[in-house]
Amino acid sequence: MSDSSASGAATVAPPPATQRERPRKTVLQVLRLSALRRLALLPVIVLALIIGSQLNDAFLTTDNILTNVLGASAVLAVVVVAESLIIIGGHFDLSLQSLVGFAPMLSAWLVVPKDAGGAGLHLSPFLGLVVLFAVGAAIGLINGFLVARLKLNAFIVTLAMLILLQGLTLGVSGGQTLTSLPDAYAYLGNAMWLGVPAEVWVAALVFLAAGLFMRYHVVGREIYAMGGNEEAARAAGIKTTRVTWGLFVVGGMLAALAGLMLTSRIASVTANQGQDLIFTVFAAAVIGGIDLDGGRGSMAGAATGVVLLGVIQNILVVAEVPSFWVSAIYGGIILVSLMLGALAGSPTLGKLAARLRTARPATAPARTEAGA
């Protein structure tokens, strides 16, 4: 009887102190790794800035950084935010690059005079901008319906939408560039707010709003949960269909905003506007730590990806690299950045380190019991 009691007492004995502390260490390690992933590209960005400064004395000037690096990256930044939100939620949207061209093209076509290539409806610039954002929301709503309600593959759906919108853009414009745009369409590309281009402020505010929303709002946490495991999120009471619709609608409106920014920057709408943009968008998002499997990533990390690509692009221009080498160099630098980011914040390396740290405390109690 006493042996049985002793056995029961041994069974329910509290775990050693090292085992009780282990969950706390794991949480701290996760927080460190999360911060490390967000900042993993900062050394690469600093190195790129040093290289650029050695190639040209004008590289680190305020005008070059604000206008040619950050200003030129503002359109990319807004689309990266849109794509990152959708990817974190567990889906893709390839049609964003076509919306960058189609939304401002349709809007401008309704506004500009007929002799300038428009429809001749003479719609007011204000209503034209309303149409621009409405088009982005409508395309996002259609994508969301096909993906969330009909359960179609997001990659195939948005690829088909990309092709459709490209065709519509060419059809509306007749393959021509629309000019003679109202001042409202050119404002963001020319305005300066506190000495900084307005488009840089817009991109920064979009990143800030998205980052705060994803970090602190309950829907932001639901997006992470849905991207990690949609079935589990649905079982936990998250309205995944509604959240998916919302992601695609917001993504479409942000792509329309990016289209307006690009239109304002070049003071026109081209028939191929936004073409091949999606490849750079995915590159910036993935380099910035956005997990293509969904459920992981941060807006701060995505922002560092955008900045790095902007710096690299400017370095190639400053160095006067021949155009036929630009794509190869660009792709190679992206691959190197991806590898450095993976080594700095790899979940696999983090798990391995955690196991090595906890290996000795875990075996110590076993040796003591064996000796007893």
Residue 149, domain member (yes or no): yes
Secondary structure tally for the chain: helices H, strands E: 17, 2
Q: For residue 309, give Cα distances in angstroms to 93, 215, 276, 285.
A: 21, 25, 15, 11
> How confident is the prediction along the chain (372 residues), in pLDDT tens digits per residue?
444 444 444 444 554 444 444 444 443 444 444 555 566 678 888 988 998 888 888 888 888 999 889 998 999 999 999 999 999 999 999 999 999 999 999 999 999 888 877 777 888 999 999 999 999 999 999 999 999 999 999 999 999 999 999 999 999 888 888 888 888 898 988 899 998 999 999 999 999 999 999 999 999 999 999 999 989 999 999 999 999 999 999 999 999 999 999 999 988 899 899 888 988 898 889 888 888 888 888 999 999 999 998 998 888 888 888 877 877 877 777 777 667 656 655 444 444 445 444 544 444 444 433 333
The one-letter code for the residue type at 292 is L
Domain of residue 241, CATH code: 1.10.3470
CA nearest to 129, candidates 178, 193, 187, 177 = 187
Residue 122, domain member (yes or no): yes
CA angle 114, 116, 122 (to 5 degrees): 45
Q: For residue 91, give Cα distances in angstroms to 185, 220, 294.
A: 32, 15, 7
Residue 16, domain member (yes or no): no
Find the domain containing 159 and state its range: 36-345
Helix (H, G, I), strand (E, B) or coil at 197: strand
For residue 53, how many other CB atoms are within 10 A of its CB?
A: 15
Residue 253, domain member (yes or no): yes
The pLDDT tens digits of the residues spanning 327-342 come to: 787 777 777 766 765 6
Residue 154, domain member (yes or no): yes
pLDDT at position 313: 87
Per the CB < 8 A criterion, the answer to whether 121 and 184 are in contact is: no
Residue 362, domain member (yes or no): no
Domains in the chain: how many in total?
Answer: 1
Residue 257, domain member (yes or no): yes
Residue by residue, DSSP assigns 148-190 as IIS---HHHHHHHHHHHHHHHHHHHHTT--B----HHHHHHHH
Residue with token string 């690096």: 69
Extract the tokens encoding 315. Answer: 């370095």
Residue 354, domain member (yes or no): no
